Chain A
Amino acid sequence: MLKLIVCLKQVPIVTELPWDEQAGTLRRDLASGMMNLACLHALEAALQIKEQYSADILAITMGPPAAEEVLREAIALGADRGIHLCDRIFAGSDTYATSWMLARTIKQECPDYDLILCGSYTSDSETAQVGPQLAEELDLPAAAYIEKLEIHGRTLRVRRLVDNFRETLEMEFPALVTVSLENYKPRYAGLSGLEAAFDTGNIDRLNAADVGINKSAIETDGSRTKVRKVFLRKANKENILLTGTAANVVGDFLSKYESKISWAIGKDIEEDRNDE
C-alpha cells in the first residue's frame, strides 16, 4: 500500500480580497478562502494513484482555523485523513519556515510516506518555493511542475516541460513532486460529499507544541525573509484619455507609442510617407 501525502493551502478568493486603502495592506483576515488551484491538481494526481494502486492519502495544511475547510474538501474528494497545523506563532511564516514546519509534522506523523505531492504554486504569494524547500528539508529527490506521473514498483517516472525542454525523469521512492496545472484536471465534490466530510472525525488539529516547535526554535529555524510592504501595482499609471474620430485617435496613439509597440513585437514601425 502506497502512502501519499498531499500538501494543501487555502488562499483568498480574489473577488473578495479586501484592500485597506488607508493602511495599504491586505485585510487577509477578512477574505474568505478556497483551496489553491494547483493544490487541487496535486490532490487529483494523488486520487488517480489511489484509483490505480492501493494507496492511503494524508492531506496536510498549515493555516488559520478556517483552513480546515480544505481538508474537509480533500476528504470529500477521497483523501483518507487530514492534519491541520494551526497555531498563532505560525502566522507570517515565509517559505523557509513553512517548509520546515511541514517537514517536522511529516517526520513526526507520517515518516513512512512514499510520495509527497504539492501544487506547483499558489495564487496568493505565488513563490513556488515550498515544494522544493520541503524536499530539501526532508532530503528527497524531487521534480517540479510535473504533468504526468507513473509508478513502476518503487520507481517514480515523471514527465514535465521546463524551459522548453520536454523531460522524462526517474527517481526512487520516497520522493516529492509539485504538480502543474497542465494535467490532472480536478474533480469536484458534490454537496453531499462535502456534508458527509463535515461529520467525519478524520482531521487532527496540531499546534506548535504538538510538533515540538517553540519560540526559540522559531528564532533559529523560522523565517528568513520579511515582507516589508505590500502595495497596489498600478498606483502610478498615466492614464491618458484619447477622444475624437477613429482616424484621429489612432493617429495620435501611433505617433506617441509606435516605438513601444515596435519594441514589443520586434519589428520596425514607420510613419507612412504616402499619407502626408
Chain B
Amino acid sequence: MMNSRQKSIWVFGDYRNYFQNRVTLQLISRAVDLSRIISAEVCAVILGHEIDEYIMEYTAHGADRIIAVDDPVLKNYNTELYVTLMEALVKERDPDIVLIGATDFGREFAPRMAKRLKTGLSADCVGLDVEADGLLIQTAPSFGGNMLAEIVTSRHRPQMATIRPGTFKEIPHNYERRSLVEKLPLMKNLPRPRIRLVEYERSVEKEHTIENAAVIVCGGRGMGNKKKFKKLNDLAKLLNGDVGATRPVVYAGWADHDALVGQAGKHIKPKILFSFGISGAIQHTAGLGEADFIIAVNKNPQATMMKMADVAIVGDTSDVLHTLIKELRKRIRD
C-alpha cells in the first residue's frame, strides 16, 4: 500500500476574547479551502485550560483534527511556554503550514516560534494561496498598506504566517460535525517562565480608536468651515464610525490632532472610508492604504482622491453630506 505522508495545515487556536476574536475560525475556513488543493488535513491546536468549548467550536467550524493540551499551567497565555510546546508538537508531527492570527499575542508569539523552528514567517497577511506543490503564497501589506508583497518560504518547513483578523470569512458552524480529538498531556521538563504576569485586567479604554474603526468619515479643506465640518460627526455617529481629518483642517482647528490621518498622523484600515473635500495629497493617502472601500466626495472629479476611490461622487460636500445623513436616518434600523 502507498503510504504517502498525510499533509497537514495547522491553525493555532487563539481563543482569548473568543466572541470578538474570530480569527481562528476564519483561518480554519481558509485552511479548509487550501487543504482541498493540496489534499491536506486541517488541524487546530489548542493550548490552555478548560478548553472543551473551543474543541467543540473549532470542530463545528471545519477542523478535521484537534490537538489539545489542557492544563492549569496554561491558564493564561504565555509566550515562552507556548513556544516550547508548539516547538515540540511541530517537531513530532511535521505540519506543512502553520497559520496564526495576527492578534497582538500572535504577532509576539509567532516570530519566536518561527525562530525556534528555524523557519520563515510572514507578518499580518491579507491573502493566502497555495500552489499545487504545496508552496504557500503569503500576501502581506507594506508601506502603510499602499503596497502588497508576495512572500514565500521555499526551503524550510513549516511555512508560517500570521494573518490579519477579518481577512477571511468563517464557515458557519455545524455542531453535527466530528473531528479527531487528541488530548495530550503537558510536556515534562517545561522551562520555568522568566516572565511574571503581575497584573492584568480587561481594558475598555482603547477598544475604540480611529485605528481600529470599521467606518471612518474623513474631512478636508473642502468642507468649507468648522461648522460644516462638524456635521461629519453626525454621519460618523450614524455609522458607528470615527471622524478623521487632513492636516490643513487640523491646523485650522476644525478637528483635533488625534484625528489627523496620513504620514504625520494615523494609519487607518476601515472597511469603509468616506472622504469629503479632500484632494488626496500623498502625505494624506499614505495613511489610507488599508481602507477597503473608499467613497470620495469632491466638486472636482479630477482630484487624486476621486481617482483612488471605489465610488467618486461629484458634488458639493455639504449638499451630499446633508442628503446622505437624511437618507440614512430614514433607512437604518437599529
Chain A residues with a Cβ under 8 A of chain B: 14-15, 17, 26, 94-96, 99, 123-129, 131-133, 135-137, 141-145, 157, 161-172, 223-234, 237-243, 246-247, 249-251, 253-254, 256-258, 260-261, 263-272, 274-275
Question: Would you call the interface of chain B mostly helix, strand, loop, or mixed?
Answer: mixed
Q: Cβ of B51 < 8 Å from any Cβ of A?
A: no
Stretch at the interface among B39-47, B138-146, B242-250: B138-146
Closest to B324 in A: A250
Q: A14-B282, A15-B263, A225-B152 are in contact. Are A143 and B195 (CB under 8 A)?
A: yes
Q: How far is the CB of A21 from chain B (nearest CB, A)?
A: 13
Is B331 a contact partner of A257 (Cβ separation < 8 A)? no
Closest to A272 in B: B330
A-B contact pairs, 11 of them (CB 8 A): A15-B263, A95-B123, A124-B142, A136-B111, A144-B107, A162-B108, A164-B206, A167-B200, A168-B200, A171-B195, A226-B154
How far is B239's CA from A260's CA once the two chains are assembled, in angstroms?
A: 12
Q: A165-B203, A225-B151 are in contact. Are A267 and B316 (CB under 8 A)?
A: no
Instruction: Give the contacting residue for B314; candidates A142, A170, A226, A242; CB below 8 A.
Output: A242
Is B148 a contact partner of A231 (Cβ separation < 8 A)? yes
Stretch at the interface among B64-72, B89-97, B223-231, B303-311: B303-311
Q: Cβ of B36 < 8 Å from any Cβ of A?
A: no
B144 / chain A contacts, CB cutoff of 8 Å: 14, 123
Closest to B194 in A: A141
Is A129 a contact partner of B199 (Cβ separation < 8 A)? no
Closest to A251 in B: B327
B327 / chain A contacts, CB cutoff of 8 Å: 250-251, 254, 272
Q: How far is the CB of B235 from chain A (nearest CB, A)?
A: 11
Q: How far is the CB of B263 from chain A (nearest CB, A)?
A: 5
Chain B count of residues within 8 A CB distance of the other chain: 96
Is A164 a contact partner of B17 (Cβ separation < 8 A)? yes
With a 10 A CB-CB cut-off, give which of B143, B239, B314, B330 has the most chain A CB atoms.
B143
Q: Cβ of B55 < 8 Å from any Cβ of A?
A: no
A272 / chain B contacts, CB cutoff of 8 Å: 327, 330-331
With a 10 A CB-CB cut-off, give which of A14, A157, A260, A266 has the most chain B CB atoms.
A14
Instruction: Give the contacting residue for A135; candidates B112, B282, B312; CB below 8 A.
Output: B112
Instruction: Give the contacting residue for A268; candidates B114, B143, B332; CB below 8 A.
Output: B332
A96 / chain B contacts, CB cutoff of 8 Å: 114-115, 118-121
Q: How far is the CB of A182 from chain B (nearest CB, A)?
A: 9
Instruction: Give the contacting residue for A238; candidates B137, B147, B150, B310; CB below 8 A.
Output: B310
Q: Cβ of B176 < 8 Å from any Cβ of A?
A: no
Is B206 a contact partner of A163 (Cβ separation < 8 A)? no
Q: Cβ of B177 < 8 Å from any Cβ of A?
A: no
Is B153 a contact partner of A224 (Cβ separation < 8 A)? yes
